[in-house]
A and B are shown apart, each in its own frame.
Chain A
Amino acid sequence: MKKLLLEKAHVEGIRTYEVYRREGGYRSVEKALKMAPADITEEVKKSGLRGRGGAGFPTGLKWSFLAKPEGIPRHLVVNADESEPGTFKDRYLMEFIPHLLIEGMVVSSFALGSNVSYIYIRGEYAWIVDILEEAIAEAKQNGFLGKNILDSGFDCEIYVHRGAGAYICGEETALLESLEGKRGNPRIKPPFPAVKGVWERPTVVNNVETIAAVVPIINDGGEEYAKIGVGKSTGTKLISACGNINKPGVFEIDMTISVEEFIYSDEYCGGIPNGKKLKACIPGGSSVPILPANLLLTTAKGEKRMMNYESLSDGGFATGSMMGSGGFIVLDEDQCVVRHTYTLARFYRHESCGQCSPCREGTGWMEKILLNIENGKGKKSDIDLLWDIQRRIEGNTICPLGDAAAWPVAAAIRHFRDEFEWHVQNPGECLKRNFGLAHYADAIHVPVAG
């Protein structure tokens, strides 16, 4: 398979401008600056590129929504606040091949008419800030950034802005608030950032990987890009795999392979270590629903589940999950789903901004109940209570963090209810053995949606 993003990531010295340029870097800028900005958007539309941050919204469409009022500057903001547990693909990309992001940003900024673009990076990625700033300085020295890029008359500056350690600032409107120097509370939409974004100016917020993918799209053409992949899942996707697998890391896949192949192939995860069986997996970062092994490998219809947007969400939340941001977390038969869900609930409780009541109060409540169940103090009614809490959080909050906190709990109860009940009936047992029910690793009855 041809890699588009990470192909050159391990060339010696690719972080420097000289090597990157020698390997064919910044060709897309040269090409794009001769095109009309609208044509670049058109090319991105043709490519079928979908947002790589989690929601999977078509990027070209998003760009075309950008309001273009006279006399008001527009901005491109790259969301590098990659804080979802299990997701670390952007870090890899920025760390190893920073110029790819800068190149993609120059092209995208030109397409969107943004003369000042920002990279909002999570504060914990401090060393990557240095890498990016060095890349920006080099690009500037070589005329790919700054005033009058390649004599085209287009000016573009890129600034790197560090976050201060909040997951919520990965939500695009909270990110914009934080970028403006305010408290990172999500804004109430509408207005959407495309109309009123940073400093009330039209803004496009895109994920790092999305912007990087613009480079091959411009180089090879949108139609060529769309040929890779399947259906509406075009191009390549970075998957950061972790958990109980032999080869954790970041893999670039073309979305035509099956989940089974991805987990067991030596090219990717390399199987489950110590001869253990697969119990469950979160296929797209901590906030997407967890799936038990049988539903992960085959859909409720009995088809093989593939690593793409449509197949992973096949069956809705009843029997499916989501592609999400590509944080692939694998759990083997020894892992306890209750403990795992508690860990996630703890994370969401800690990261809730506290602005709207269901998320502020509900996340803390869920965490406490889960801790009780895990510690053997749970009651059977707690499981129904958990279900009720998550149901009342989901969809009733300002931003998707409420949903993200509710989904993992909902999915864990939906698919692993008897493991929760086992925890209640055998208090403290899981603390002694440190795992939950292994039988999920065996094929079990597949519930049919509806």
Chain B
Amino acid sequence: MSEEIKTFKVTIDNITIDVAPGTTILNAARQIGGDVTPPAMCYYSKLEGSGGKCRTCLVEVAAGSTADPRPMPKLVASCRTAVMDGMVVKNITSDKVLDARNGVVEFLLINHPLDCPICDQAGECHLQDLSYEHGTEGTRYEFKRRTFEKEDIGPLIQLHMTRCILCYRCTYVADQITDKRVHGILDRGDHAEISTYISKAIDNDFSGNMIDVCPVGALTDKTFRFKNRVWFTKPVDAHRDCENPKCCGKATLWLRGDEVYRVTTRTDPWGEVQSFDGKPGWICNTCRFEKKKTSDWVVEGLTTISRHSVIGANKYAKLEMPKDTIKEVLDGRDPKLLMDIHSVSGVNKPEIYLSELDRPAHIEDFAKPTEHKLDKPVQPSLLNEEKK
């Protein structure tokens, strides 16, 4: 009998699942997947000690365990709370949780610059996703947002402290992936900042992974800076034989045409680095910053982006084919021509109906710039009779 009890039964939002003892609520919810999974800004399963800080993953424990079914008095951080057998957790079914989460998102945003239009992280930013789901359209914060002195932390990584949400992930990367940590949190409270004691100090073979773990645009790739928007680039999986034994050599290339704009680690559905053979697939700085030719890599194929971010939203996952004809778009109704643009437009030659061509339009079909007389008034004629 005791042989059989090797798993804990945990119910999250009325979905019951068996998980191994020691699993956290968050990881149990990830096994279920979907909306049940609490968002996590600071927790990173591959970084030991991370989590507990951002408070976005707060959940309500309605029953502690079968042995002690009392509810927990406070909301708990699901990333750092281990499940017990018979635990009942409420995430999106609890108003208390949603209210607290909205609160956390509001707190995270009050001092965030919201400079998404010029931020390289836009499109793959966890804070953006979180704000879409839990943020409000306006802000109740009426004060000057917090700013920091600019700090140059090195040649490869750009630090934007104003965007930082102090998840501490990058310090864990420096501690656990690189040889030594030269940056950290200086100061405390709302003036705490990520910084190096000596400027331009971050210079390490694996420091680039800090960029990938950063949930916001606080740490971005200097070699990709302002080059492109992530949703214009095409992610492909690729690998190469890296001479660095600690580098896994498996990466995602972000292409536009044949040009490699950016190299990152491969991510799993939770925005974390993928594991290969049980080991997190961190890549070295050589792969990331220097191998920017497709010839450096063996391309495996398109990356599937399942994350519900801007990139994934309508491009790669659940692609819906556009409807073929206007009739289909209008649910079977015939289009009604209100105005013949053809006769108004100075773009194409008046004698050619582009819509009636049985071939793609060529340059000859269009009016030459010189033929384009703006001063001559064109007579608009409603409902071209000849066409019918």
**What is the CA–CA distance of A298 and B184 in the complex, to the nearest angstrom?**
51
Q: Which residues of B contact A398 (CB under 8 A)?
A: 52-53, 77
Residue of A183, A357, A388 near B104 (CB, 8 A) is: A357
**Interface mask (A157-180 → B, CB under 8 Å = 1, otherwise 0):** 000000000101000000000000
Report whether A392 and B103 are in contact in the complex, using a CB–CB cutoff of 8 Å.
Answer: yes
Known contacts A352-B189, A396-B100; A358/B107 CB under 8 A: yes
**Interface mask (B90-122 → A, CB under 8 Å = 1, otherwise 0):** 000000000110011011101100000000000
Known contacts A360-B166, A392-B107, A396-B55; A349/B189 CB under 8 A: yes
Report whether A361 and B100 are in contact in the complex, using a CB–CB cutoff of 8 Å.
Answer: no
Q: Which residues of B contact A349 (CB under 8 A)?
A: 189-190
**What is the CA–CA distance of A256 and B166 in the complex, to the nearest angstrom?**
47
Which residues in window 194-240 of B have CB below 8 A to A?
Answer: none
**What is the CA–CA distance of A392 and B55 in the complex, to the nearest angstrom?**
11
CB distance from A122 to the nearest CB of B (A): 15
CB distance from B385 to the nearest CB of A (A): 62
Known contacts A361-B110, A363-B190; A396/B52 CB under 8 A: no
Q: Does A353 contact B (CB under 8 A)?
A: yes
- Please classify how large the interface on chain B is, using the bins under 10, 10 to 19, 20 to 34, 35 or more: 35 or more
Known contacts A188-B80, A356-B52, A396-B55; A166/B188 CB under 8 A: yes
Interface size of A by Cβ–Cβ distance < 8 Å? Answer: 30
Q: Does B251 contact A (CB under 8 A)?
A: no
Q: Which residues of A contact B77 (CB under 8 A)?
A: 188, 398
Q: Does A231 contact B (CB under 8 A)?
A: no
Q: Does A397 contact B (CB under 8 A)?
A: yes
Known contacts A354-B166, A360-B190; A183/B185 CB under 8 A: yes
Q: Which residues of B contact A351 (CB under 8 A)?
A: 188-189
Q: Which residues of A contact B55 (CB under 8 A)?
A: 356-358, 396-397
Q: Does B148 contact A (CB under 8 A)?
A: no
Q: Which residues of A contact B140 (CB under 8 A)?
A: 385
Main secondary structure of the interface of B (DSSP, over half): loop
Report whether A358 and B103 are in contact in the complex, using a CB–CB cutoff of 8 Å.
Answer: yes
Report whether A350 and B189 are in contact in the complex, using a CB–CB cutoff of 8 Å.
Answer: yes
Q: Does A265 contact B (CB under 8 A)?
A: no
Q: Which residues of A contact B75 (CB under 8 A)?
A: 395-396
Which residues in window 404-418 of A have CB below 8 A to B?
Answer: none
CB distance from A81 to the nearest CB of B (A): 15
Closest chain A residue to B167, Cβ basis: A357
**What is the CA–CA distance of A198 and B75 in the complex, to the nearest angstrom?**
27
CB distance from A359 to the nearest CB of B (A): 8
CB distance from A253 to the nearest CB of B (A): 31
Q: Which residues of B contact A358 (CB under 8 A)?
A: 55, 103-104, 107
Residue of B52, B54, B100, B191 near A392 (CB, 8 A) is: B100
Residue of A357, A364, A385, A392 near B165 (CB, 8 A) is: A357
Closest chain A residue to B168, Cβ basis: A355
Q: Does B141 contact A (CB under 8 A)?
A: yes
CB distance from B84 to the nearest CB of A (A): 12
Which one of A363, A365, A388, A398 has the greatest number of beta carbons of chain B within 10 Å? A365
CB distance from A391 to the nearest CB of B (A): 8
Q: Which residues of A come within 8 Å of B, CB atoms?
A: 166, 168, 183, 188, 349-358, 360-365, 368, 385, 388, 391-393, 395-398
7 nearest A-B pairs in the assembled complex, by CB-CB distance: A392-B103, A354-B192, A361-B107, A352-B189, A188-B52, A364-B190, A395-B74
Q: Which residues of B come within 8 Å of A, CB atoms?
A: 51-56, 58, 74-75, 77, 80, 99-100, 103-104, 106-108, 110-111, 140-141, 143, 146, 165-166, 168, 184-185, 187-192
Sampled A-B contacts (26; CB under 8 Å): A166-B188, A183-B184, A183-B185, A188-B51, A188-B77, A349-B189, A349-B190, A351-B189, A352-B188, A354-B185, A354-B192, A355-B166, A356-B52, A357-B53, A360-B192, A361-B107, A361-B111, A363-B190, A364-B190, A368-B143, A392-B103, A392-B106, A396-B58, A396-B75, A396-B103, A396-B104
